[in-house]
């Protein structure tokens, strides 16, 4: 019969109608959840209508009509029961949060992050802006205007990822990943004095891997997820995700560079952790009690960490810190993108667990340090 709805469309419109009353709510938790449900429902409808989920580099588990729709319904049912299914998991409404960093200024904590797209792999829906949000209590966030966008006239003519910010002499230096149209990655730079207005460094990428990285502009090359730590003597050290040939074997590694002026960088080689067998991403380094700590994503496993007495070498693995609790469907579906920071006299670690279908949210956990230097994760901020 003309105009008769298919079983899926009947379900789709039923869920849309049930959701509509929650659109009248003005609290952030409800608005965030409603936005995610809408994105998942619309992506399900998109796939139902014949849209492909295949990106430039293939696809990943979870990009199915059943997953999108099923997760949307489960979130709605929790709302209908009076709960908040995404409590303690922050995102800008309608978006996914991936690599990120924190900066404290004037009693406020600033968050900068990849603005990714739920329901799409990065190679199908480009991540081409870096977002900005601010909080005073880690619970209530104000979403600000994005601060960086991809630029067709620079190396980043495809995407921009993974902000990492360090302050020196009153200037904030943001090191972010520029991705060219061939998916080759390099570390680019922007500077600011107020965290809101940023000026890009026009001299091109400031860091590329050494010859050990087999880096080429005309093909996929790993050089992303940078962060910079400024040591007590003023030397800045950069750590980034890369691939390296070490002892005749090519595999995942952390690239390291150093600088005295925050612009010109000296290659210091690459470091590999044997427990990391797929990819080593999002390294974060800090210094506490005279020791250097490196936190990183051990793809397929979760968040791992290591310790050293030297910022470049001698890293000793302390194993997994935040492992997966549900066996991942793909290497990326693990707790990742860790950042460690101190805010209002409490230490915290962040994590972004990517769910199948590219849902990804920011979670923040309290941590404690043992006398022998181990890190103990505590309760989640909610």
Domains and CATH numbers, the chain: 7-80 (no CATH), 96-380 (2.115.10.20)
Confirm if 347 and 368 have CB atoms less than 8 A apart. yes
User: How much is the pLDDT for 1?
Assistant: 52
CA distances, 141 to each of 17, 29, 111, 154 (Å)? 29, 11, 9, 32
Q: What's residue 204's pLDDT?
A: 85
pLDDT tens over the chain, length 382 residues: 567 899 999 999 999 999 999 999 999 999 999 999 999 999 999 999 999 999 999 888 999 999 999 999 999 999 999 999 999 999 999 999 999 999 999 999 999 999 999 999 999 999 999 999 999 999 999 999 999 999 999 999 999 999 999 999 999 999 999 999 999 999 999 999 999 999 999 888 999 999 999 999 999 999 999 999 999 999 999 999 999 999 999 999 999 999 999 999 999 999 999 899 899 999 999 999 999 999 999 999 999 999 999 999 999 999 999 999 999 999 999 999 999 999 999 999 999 999 999 999 999 999 999 988 899 999 999 9
Query: What does the block give as tokens for 277?
Result: 């067998």
Residue 365, C-beta contacts closer than 8 angstroms, at least 6 positions apart: 322, 348, 349, 350, 351, 377, 378, 379, 380, 381
pLDDT recorded at residue 203:
87
Q: Report in angstroms the alpha-carbon separations of 44 from 31, 66, 73, 229.
A: 20, 8, 11, 42
pLDDT confidence of residue 2: 61
């Amino acid at each position: 019969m003309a105009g008769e709805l298919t079983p899926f469309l009947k379900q789709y419109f039923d869920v849309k109608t049930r959701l509509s009353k929650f659109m009248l709510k003005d609290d952030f938790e409800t608005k965030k959840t409603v936005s995610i449900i809408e994105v998942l429902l619309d992506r399900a409808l998109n796939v139902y209508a014949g849209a492909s989920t295949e990106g430039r580099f293939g696809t990943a588990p979870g990009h199915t009509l059943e997953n999108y729709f099923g997760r949307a319904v489960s979130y709605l049912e929790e709302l209908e029961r009076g709960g908040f299914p995404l409590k303690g998991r922050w995102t800008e409404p309608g978006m996914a949060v991936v690599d990120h960093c924190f900066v404290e200024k004037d009693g406020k904590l600033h968050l900068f992050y990849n603005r990714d797209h739920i329901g799409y792999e990065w190679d199908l829906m480009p991540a081409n802006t870096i977002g900005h949000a601010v909080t005073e209590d880690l619970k209530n966030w104000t979403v600000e205007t994005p601060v960086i966008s991809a630029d067709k006239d620079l190396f980043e003519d495809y995407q921009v990822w993974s902000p990492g910010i360090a302050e020196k002499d009153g200037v904030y230096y943001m090191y972010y990943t520029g991705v060219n149209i061939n998916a080759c990655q390099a570390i680019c730079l922007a500077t600011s004095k107020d965290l809101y207005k940023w000026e890009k460094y026009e001299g091109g990428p400031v860091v590329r891997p050494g010859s050990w990285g087999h880096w080429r502009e005309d093909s996929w090359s790993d050089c992303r997820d940078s962060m910079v730590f400024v040591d007590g003597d003023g030397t800045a050290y950069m750590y980034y995700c890369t691939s390296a040939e070490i002892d005749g074997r090519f595999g995942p590694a952390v690239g390291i560079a150093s600088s005295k002026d925050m612009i010109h960088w000296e290659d210091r080689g690459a470091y590999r952790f044997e427990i990391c067998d797929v990819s080593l991403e999002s390294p974060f380094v800090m210094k506490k009690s005279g020791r250097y700590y490196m936190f990183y994503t051990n793809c397929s496993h979760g968040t791992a960490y290591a310790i050293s007495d030297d910022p470049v070498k001698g890293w000793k693995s302390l194993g997994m810190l935040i492992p997966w609790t549900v066996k991942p469907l793909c290497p990326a579906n693990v707790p990742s993108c860790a950042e460690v920071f101190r805010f209002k006299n409490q230490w915290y670690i962040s994590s972004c667990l990517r769910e199948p279908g590219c849902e990804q949210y920011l979670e923040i956990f309290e941590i404690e340090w043992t006398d022998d230097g181990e890190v103990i994760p505590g309760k989640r901020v909610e």
